Amino acid sequence: DARTAYRRILSESARRLNAQGSQLGACIDKARPYYEARRLAKEAQQETQRAALRYERAVSTHNAAREMVFVAEQGVVADKNRLDPTWQELLNHATGKVNEAEEERLRSEREHQRVTRLCQQAEAKVQALQKSLKRVIVKSKPYFELKAQFNQILEEHKAKVTALEQLVAQAKTRYSVALRNLEQISEQIHARRLQRLLGRRGSPVGAEASP
93-145, pLDDT tens digit by residue?
999 999 999 999 999 999 999 999 999 999 999 999 999 999 999 988 888 88
Q: How many angstroms separate the CA atoms of 34 and 28, rounded?
A: 10
Cβ–Cβ < 8 Å for 83, 54? no
The third-level CATH classification (topology) of the domain covering 2-199 is Helix Hairpins (1.10.287)
Closest CA to 16 of 147, 148, 141: 147
pTM exceeds 0.85, yes or no: no
Cβ neighbours of residue 34 closer than 8 Å, sequence gap 6 or more? 126, 129, 130, 133, 137
Higher pLDDT, 195 or 127: 127
Q: Where are the domains of the chain?
A: 2-199
